[in-house]
Chains A and B, each alone.
Chain A
Amino acid sequence: MLATPGSALSGGDGTAGNEHVLFSVRNLRKFFPIRGGLFSSHIGDVRAVDGVSFTIHEGETVGLVGESGCGKTTVGRMLLRLIEPTSGHAFYRPPPDVVDRIEQDYQAIGMTPLPEDGGAGKLSPEATKALHDLDGLADKYSLFRKKRKEIKALRARLQIVFQDPFSSLEPRLMVRDVIAEPLDIQHVGTRAERMRRVDELLESVGLSPEHAWRFPHEFSGGQRQRIGIARALALRPEFIVLDEPTSALDVSVQAQVLNILRRLQQEQRLAYLFISHHLSVIRAVSDRVVVMYLGRIVERAETDELFSRPLHPYTQALLSAIPIPDPLLHRERIILTGDVPSPADPPSGCHFHTRCPAVMPICSKVSPPMAEVRPGHWVSCHLFPPASAPGAGGAVESPAPVESLGSMDAGPLTTTAEASSSP
């Protein structure tokens, strides 16, 4: 399907538009170096996140799904700068016109391979200009260019709830100190005001003020997770990364926690990045879903669209593998063989080709570009080539794939294939 410029400009989600963009994540990469050999030299990289782009709007929940080791937690942590990215940008609150400019710049760069990525030749003048423009925008808006002091102020608005409620609360602090710690760090109010705020927060997550005087070990898993949520809420953030917030909990408790999260979002217009491997939970809470496999995004769409019409073979397999609590329902199952490959040595071409039921010869050679198959529904698979790409054929057929900056998200103008890791 031919993507309209408008939808491409919106960062690839078609519906929500340029308004109220909270984060525009572009080409995010994180390589963890592997050291070894003589003098601990750099012998390789674990490509934990390899060119990820997506957008988060105010007050919405973006679900990030994938199997363990696909890099979803790394993405979440980079958005709070708990991990420094290798490259890429996360534009924080860009105004609508800036969103457009970013988009145009990436398209301009996407046309020419960059020298540092092994592309031949020099940059075209437009690409150089775009690169400079992007650099300027990044200085102004990118989270990764902020200084320490700015980050400290921003952390009040960006928060995280960790996966394991048993190790994410300091065991030597009382619950009230755990929850008040962010307030202390940001010097909010007087001591009495902070304590009032703690009581308020405890009530908002369904605990009572008397719990403030206890230690974390006195609580069950679900209660601790609620304390973690209360701590994240303390500074009235606008964005919370929820890193598998319910995977350590029982279903009945999980329902309690999910309901609390939902209510808080409505009350405070919070945006969530909901990271989970549990698709049924993702479906219950998200507005839009991003599916990751081995460090890359394979599919991105609105929740209902993704679950009713999954296009990428991996998403299809993932969906069919979810057990459904209804013995009367019989589905055709796609059972994937094998394991997730190691991100230190990812397969060539499309990362999924080693397990893909619909694998073609091209898949092991060229990594597929992101294509908008329906409005707002983006897939990275050779089964769905970008329809209107001028010169796309040439790039796809070229034996030596070229790495390009803008390929993950540059929309219809993406011509070059996202290059595989060529070790």
Chain B
Amino acid sequence: MSAAVTTPQVVSDAAPPSPVPVAAPVPEVSASSVEARPVVLDVRNLVTYFYTYDGVVRALEGVSFKLRRGETLGLVGETGCGKSVTMFSITRLIPDPPGRVVSGKALFRGADLLWGLGAEARFIPVKGTNRVKVKRSFRKVKAAQARVGSVRGQGIAMIFQEPTQAMNPIFPIYDQLSEVLLEHRGEELVDGLMQATPDGPAVHAAADALERSVRVSDDAIRDAARALGEAAKLPSFGTQAFYMARQARVIGRTNLAEDVRRAASRLRLSGAQRTFLKNERELMSIQRELRSVYISEMRRGELERVHRGRLSARRLRTRLRGLPYRFPGVKRRTSRPLREEAFWRAVQALETVQIANPVQVARGFPHELSGGMLQRVMISMALSCDPEILMADEPTTALDVTIQAQILELMNELRTRIGTAILLITHDLAVIAEVADRVAVMYAGQIVEMAPVKSLFTRPMHPYTQGLLESIPRVDQPSKKLESIPGSVPNLIFPPSGCRYHPRCPHAMPICKEQRPPMTVEQPGHNVACFLYNGPPVVE
């Protein structure tokens, strides 16, 4: 691989080949080529406060950045500097109360995810204390949540820090994966089922071929199963047949073709199942239209009440029409093909993240999996709807280094394959150096430096960035003396005046106490907020 490739996705020859097709090499990510890509997320002046009993915690104070298609933006900083709060503010997942996004814009392809913030709440300071009382209009908050909800998943997918806590412990893995698939890929699933031809002579012939392939090799089984899926016009049936065949091979079962044909005949839809599926599909398309109405509301900046009302009336009518198929007991039978289709799609999703035995994993519960496995499940969930933006909050912090390498590799691959933009939140500068194109360094709720990764590591400008880089122990430089930054992260209820870093800064000047330094451009693409530098201010 050429030296021009910035992203370190070089895999040694010794490593086993990955089952996922290797994507074309990432183009050289120079400052100029990144600039040319379309912006998918434009965050401007994000301000988030937490209204606690002790006072107002100023967690984010004017965070701005742009995320472009196919790039990885690293967000680094110490614990409590607001990295995760930034992610949660953009997707409006801040626990409210006590938190509140006070102002700012988050333009996702022109639609402002934070539109209508001003009308949502009033702030009343409590006399004689530091407290501020927040009076929310819950109707408006709920509407805003619904609007942003239309972007989550397909537009912006998220990977959370603690996979064990992000999954629901009482549902099996496949259940949680199918939920995502049915929500975002539902129509596709239904269409696939409706036009499948699981009972034709072609399928029967393919089933026989599959049985023969069992005696050959795993690759032959894979090919035969794929052919079977094509014959049935339902790729997920191929996946099902593949695992049936592998099972047959292990336990030495002989009448595989018979079993496959029986499974195929179960895919033949009854009248009630067909009607149920049509009804479901209608509901799903209404849901999709509703999402696009929400997005257009955020883009145009006005409510489309009439349009939305019409859609919800239609949804109600469709639900009523489908009622006979939703009674308990009836629904179990009518919805079975859809549930099974979702299950095998979930298995396919798990295959993409290189889980070796996806069927068992899919049937398992979160507590049965290790942290690394669960994190991969989370990633497969986030990727199952090909998101435009992936926000990963410390995706590898809880994992071991060897597993971390696997996960980072996987995210990189996704970026090159689908062009997903990644916001990678971590406190580990080494991870950033390995995978990010650009880096934003945060300190106490503000971005203090933003630069292409090479430029940041070779020429860090902000004293805080310099301090951070000095304090990392390095495997390749053992004799390096570890410099630590004196003091600790400030209390954000009473943040330091002016530049928030000045109490710990070795270069603090009188002006630092008085004014907040503006973000200035020091080199193309390298911005810094510090009075030591006096380049032209950043223009929006």
Contacts and interface: CB of A to CB of B under 8 A. Distances in A.
Q: Do A and B bind each other?
A: yes
Interface in A232-263: 250-256, 258-259
Interface string B414-433: 00000000000001111111
A324 B434 contact: yes
Contact of B11 (A67, A252, A335, A338): A335
A335 B15 contact: yes
B506 interface: no
Size range of the chain A interface in the assembly: 35 or more
Nearest to B370: A339
Contacts of A334: 12, 14-15
Given A323-B431, A324-B430, A220 B488 contact: yes
Interface in B9-25: 10-12, 14-16
Contact of B427 (A251, A259, A320, A340): A251
Interface in A60-84: 67-68
Nearest to B1: A330
Interface string B455-495: 00110000000011111111110101011110011000000
B409 A335 contact: yes
Interface stretch (B209-217, B226-234, B380-388, B396-404): B396-404
A320 B406 CA distance: 12
A67 B206 CA distance: 45
Nearest to A337: B16
B485 to A, nearest CB: 4
A254 B471 contact: yes
Given A327-B457, A328-B458, A330-B8, A322 B430 contact: yes
Given A330-B3, A332-B12, A279 B402 contact: no
A123 to B, nearest CB: 41
A277 B400 contact: yes
Contact of B488 (A68, A253, A284, A337): A253
Given A253-B484, A255-B471, A320-B12, A329 B400 contact: no
B12 A318 contact: no
A277 B372 CA distance: 15
A331 B1 CA distance: 11
A250 B427 contact: yes
Contact of A339 (B403, B467, B484): B403
Contacts of B10: 330-333
B430 A283 contact: no
Nearest to B408: A323
A222 to B, nearest CB: 7
B373 interface: yes
Interface in B74-118: 78-79
Given A250-B78, A318-B401, A325-B474, A333 B406 contact: no
Contact of B79 (A221, A320, A322, A326): A221
B176 interface: no
A259 B15 contact: no
B433 A323 contact: yes
Contacts of B489: 220
Nearest to A332: B12
Interface residues of B, number: 56
Contacts of A277: 400-401
A317 B402 contact: yes
A318 B485 CA distance: 29
A256 B483 CA distance: 8
Contacts of A340: 370, 400
Interface in B326-381: 354, 356, 370-373
A6 interface: no
Contacts of A320: 12, 405
A251 B471 CA distance: 6
A321 interface: yes
Contact of A283 (B428, B469, B478): B478
B444 interface: no
B246 interface: no
Contacts, number: 161
A4 B8 CA distance: 43
A252 B400 contact: no
A307 B14 contact: no
A325 B405 contact: no
B473 A280 contact: yes
B44 to A, nearest CB: 27
Contact of B453 (A256, A279, A327, A339): A327
A357 B78 contact: no
Contacts of A329: 476
Nearest to A338: B356
A34 interface: no
B433 A322 contact: no
Given A256-B484, A328-B454, A339 B372 contact: yes
Q: Which of the listed residues A220, A221, A253 has the most CB atoms from chain B within 10 Å of its own CB?
A: A253
Q: Which of the listed residues A222, A250, A283, A329 has the most CB atoms from chain B within 10 Å of its own CB?
A: A250
A284 B482 contact: yes
A324 B475 contact: yes
A254 B473 CA distance: 9
A324 B474 contact: yes
Nearest to B369: A339
B6 interface: yes
Contacts of B14: 334, 357-358
Nearest to A248: B79
Contacts of A304: 478
B122 to A, nearest CB: 34
Given A303-B478, A336-B406, A326 B468 contact: no
A221 B273 CA distance: 58
A223 B16 CA distance: 45
Nearest to B400: A67
A344 to B, nearest CB: 13
A222 B488 contact: yes
Given A330-B3, A338-B356, A340-B400, A325 B469 contact: yes
B485 A252 contact: yes
B81 to A, nearest CB: 9
A197 B372 CA distance: 45
A224 B400 CA distance: 25
Contacts of A317: 402
A258 B473 contact: yes
Contact of A255 (B3, B400, B408, B482): B482
A44 to B, nearest CB: 17
A353 B478 CA distance: 30
Contacts of A258: 473, 482
B445 to A, nearest CB: 16
B78 A252 contact: yes
Contacts of B482: 255, 258-259, 284
Given A220-B488, A259-B482, A339-B372, A321 B79 contact: no
A318 B478 CA distance: 17
Contacts of A281: 473
A310 to B, nearest CB: 11
Nearest to B470: A255
Interface in B39-72: none
Interface in A248-302: 250-256, 258-259, 277, 279-281, 283-284
Nearest to A67: B400
A319 interface: yes
A277 B397 CA distance: 12
A331 B405 CA distance: 13
- Per CB-CB distance, the 9 closest pairs between chain A and chain B, nearest first, are A323-B430, A255-B471, A357-B14, A255-B484, A284-B473, A256-B484, A321-B405, A67-B400, A255-B482
17 contacts: A67-B401, A250-B427, A255-B470, A256-B484, A280-B473, A284-B474, A284-B482, A324-B476, A327-B6, A330-B3, A331-B10, A333-B10, A333-B405, A335-B406, A335-B409, A340-B400, A358-B14
Interface of B: 3, 6, 8, 10-12, 14-16, 78-79, 354, 356, 370-373, 400-406, 408-409, 427-434, 453-454, 457-458, 467-476, 478, 480, 482-485, 488-489
Given A220-B488, A322-B401, A328-B458, 4 more contacts: A250-B427, A253-B78, A327-B6, A358-B14
